[in-house]
Amino acid sequence: MKVMKFGGTSAGTPESMLLVKNIIEAEKEPVIVVVSALGGVTDRLLLAADFALNANPGYQSILEEIIFRHEEMIREMVVSAVDQKELRQKIDPMFEDLRNILRGVYLIGDLSQKTSDKIVSYGERFSSLIVSKIIDGARVYDSTQFIKTTKQFSHHIPDIAYSNELIKQAFLSDPLPKVAIVPGFISSSKEADDITNLGRGGSDYTAAIIAAALNASVLEIWTDVDGFMTADPKIINSAYVIEELSFTEAIELSNFGAKVIYPPTIFPVYHKSIPIRVKNTFKPASEGTLIRNIKPTPNGKIIKGISSINDTALITI
């Protein structure tokens, strides 16, 4: 069984959504597909919340822009009138809930972490519902029911052991549909069931947690780049795709500037020796980068890739 994750840029427009549809529907076996919010939506939700907090009525136009974008995706990509009607019955009340939450922030002038987490969760909740109606044979699962977090100081971190139990119950109790759609990024607190999230880039983490819990054969991360590169192609013209990396090498590159995979993503699958394949949604025939449990060979290249973090100083005392 395979777990596939598609980022916001992979499903940001009707044209790219069609590519995602073709990639998923080409799979012969049942798959679990983790989706991010449509490209840029999380940032727009945060901006709307900030405007509302600061009594700026401009939050309303940002909100309506977000809603219009999802409505446009529904009109363009959900062909069946019956499916459109069913989807609107689910998503329209969610649009209204989001309007009411932001209106409350605007009137009260207060934005708690709990409210902020709920506001940003709508991006993945909207996109997962839409994708479930675009992909043939798809059914959406609510990740807040099985990705559970616990509070550590001021942060919510995933309770992996508890989440693993719930994931197995959710996906192994009954036969899987051809395509199981899961909203990435979002989770809920173990203590109170409040909506939380796994942080920016958390959709990768969602996919990895599910893949590890279910002992998936592979975790595929579909994005808008060809994979890990030997250097930043914007700086080094001769940079090329790295065909294969060890888990350790991928962790090093990710921690030091290579923005291909959210670094915590690697750990759950690393401990289960589940390979990660990074692929480009816009070039599905390309092999991308394979990350797996390998050791460097004596004849291998000493330097696999170069990454950097800008505007950072290292002080040795």
Question: Is residue 164 a part of any domain in this protein?
Answer: yes
Question: Is residue 123 a part of any domain in this protein?
Answer: yes
**CA distance linking residue 6 with residue 140, whole number of Å:** 15
Question: Is residue 265 a part of any domain in this protein?
Answer: no
How much is the mean pLDDT over the chain?
Answer: 91
For residue 316, pLDDT over 70 is answered with: no
Q: Work out the average pLDDT over 241-251.
A: 89
Closest CA to 148 of 201, 113, 112, 195: 195
Q: Can you give the residue range of the structural domain that contains 70?
A: 2-224
Question: Is residue 172 a part of any domain in this protein?
Answer: yes
Question: Is residue 134 a part of any domain in this protein?
Answer: yes
Q: What is the CATH number of the domain that holds 122?
A: 3.40.1160.10
Question: Is residue 142 a part of any domain in this protein?
Answer: yes
Element (H, E) at 91: helix 81-108
- Model pLDDT for residues 3-12, shown as the tens digit of each residue: 999 999 888 8
Give CA torsion, residues 98, 183, 110, 69, to 10 deg: -40
pLDDT at 257: 65
- Model pLDDT for residues 43-65, shown as the tens digit of each residue: 999 999 999 999 999 999 999 99
Structure tokens belonging to residue 302: 């000493």
pLDDT at 304: 58
Q: Look at the chain and report how many structural domains it folds into.
A: 1
Structure tokens belonging to residue 185: 């990024």
Note if the pTM is more than 0.95: no
pLDDT at 314: 60
Question: Is residue 124 a part of any domain in this protein?
Answer: yes
**CA distance linking residue 191 with residue 150, whole number of Å:** 7
3-state secondary structure of 181: strand
Question: Is residue 25 a part of any domain in this protein?
Answer: yes
Identify any residues that bridge with 218 across adjacent strands, giving them in sequence order.
2
